[in-house]
Amino acid sequence: MSTAEKAFKPDPAYLVQVRHLKQYFPVSTGFLRTVMLKAVDDVSFNIKRGTTLGLVGESGCGKTTVGRSMLQLYKPTAGEIWFDGRRIDSKDSLQEFRRRAQMVFQDPYSSLNPRMTVADIVAEPIDVHRLCASKKEREDRVRQLMSLVGLNTEHATRYAHEFSGGQRQRIGIARALASKPEFIVCDEPVSALDVSIQAQVINMLEDLQSRLGLTYLFIAHDISVVKHISNRIAVMYLGHMMEMAPANELTRHPLHPYTVSLMSAVPVPDPEQSRRQQRIVLEGDVPSPLKVPSGCPFRTRCSRAIKDCASSCPAMREVAPSHYVACHQV
């Protein structure tokens, strides 16, 4: 164990602590040649018990990979995951972690087994972790979970294809709640749903958090949705963390040039204010994650880039209370 690992002491105020997470994938580029795709590169954050951390960024920035790596659906290349004061680094700790931490997937159409009834889908974590002693107890628990997410318990014998997108996502949420978790990774849970249904699902997630004391990592690309449900927001770009702050602070006073451009794109319902708002359009395209620019990954699209931005990658530093930014110019 290194000196840094010995020095780290988990804070009991945080349920989840992620330190220097890296997730690299080998990609073949030709005959016997591979290049490492750095999907997540040195990401660190903490989530307090009973709160929500929103993770936002463009498609392909590494948001989903962070969530999957945390739950060890992908084995992290490097870094540490601490849960409830315990480092997840052994088979025993991982087994317990997977009971207490669950995931709600993005696509409610492909994340549910079409050959299983709703009752069997919801009860799958119960069966895996052997949480019910009898068939009667299992059936009662399934009915309780379906009622909890607003589903008709009489539909337990139906199949997933018989339900709408919003109802399917509720089935996925019920399945995630089956093992009585404390932490849930919500991977863009409303992006595939109609706007009216999105609001219902978001409100339900907030209600469940209040009633069950849940802690969320809420992943999305729509910063206005994230603002509504999150206590804190973290912004990612090309596998790197750009900015992290309390939700109101970040949306009202964004400091990183990338966050400023994201906020300028959020629609404003007031026509007068919308006309006054200046839209910041980024130049160029997002670089390939196989060829991330040297130094700051955002510098090729940043109007404020200086010489230092090309030579070194800025570290996340606290520029205001609980407001962290990775930028040489802030």
Q: What residues make up the domain containing 310?
A: 259-330
pLDDT of residue 244: 97
Residue 222 lies in a domain: no
Confidence label for 5 from pLDDT (cuts 50, 70 and 90): very low
pLDDT of residue 67: 95
Structural contact between residues 293 and 299, judged by C-beta atoms closer than 8 angstroms? yes
Whether the per-residue pLDDT at 149 is higher than 80: the answer is yes
Residue 158 lies in a domain: no
pLDDT of residue 90: 86
pLDDT of residue 29: 82
pLDDT of residue 274: 64
Give the total number of structural domains in the chain.
1
Residue 272 lies in a domain: yes
Pairing label, strands 52-56, 232-237: parallel
Whether the per-residue pLDDT at 4 is higher than 50: the answer is no
Residue 291 lies in a domain: yes
Q: How far apart are CA 99 and CA 126, in angstroms?
A: 9
pLDDT of residue 209: 97
Global pTM reads 0.91
Whether the per-residue pLDDT at 174 is higher than 60: the answer is yes
pLDDT of residue 78: 95
Residue 10 lies in a domain: no
pLDDT tens-digit series, residues 176-199: 999 999 999 999 999 888 888 899
Residue 221 lies in a domain: no
Alpha-carbon distances, residue 141 vs 22, 115, 151, 153, 259 (angstroms): 38, 21, 14, 11, 43
Say which residues have a Cβ less than 8 Å from residue 327's Cβ, sequence separation at least 6.
242, 243, 255, 256, 257, 296, 314
Structural contact between residues 329 and 259, judged by C-beta atoms closer than 8 angstroms? no
Confidence label for 217 from pLDDT (cuts 50, 70 and 90): very high
Confidence label for 126 from pLDDT (cuts 50, 70 and 90): very high
Residue 41 lies in a domain: no
Q: What proportion of the chain, given as a percentage, has pLDDT over 90?
A: 68
| Chain mean pLDDT for the chain | 90
Cβ-based neighbour number of residue 326 at 10 Å: 22
Q: How far apart are CA 328 and CA 330, in angstroms?
A: 6
Q: Mean pLDDT across the stretch 1-7? A: 51
Whether the per-residue pLDDT at 232 is higher than 70: the answer is yes
pLDDT of residue 3: 46
pLDDT of residue 19: 95
Q: Mean pLDDT across the stretch 65-78? A: 94
pLDDT of residue 288: 85
Structural contact between residues 118 and 171, judged by C-beta atoms closer than 8 angstroms? yes
pLDDT tens-digit series, residues 14-23: 999 999 999 9
pLDDT tens-digit series, residues 249-304: 999 999 999 999 988 877 777 677 666 777 777 877 888 888 888 999 999 998 88
Residue 108 lies in a domain: no
The closest of 318, 58, 315 to 188, measured between CA atoms, is 58
The closest of 184, 180, 146, 143 to 163, measured between CA atoms, is 146
Whether the per-residue pLDDT at 91 is higher than 70: the answer is yes
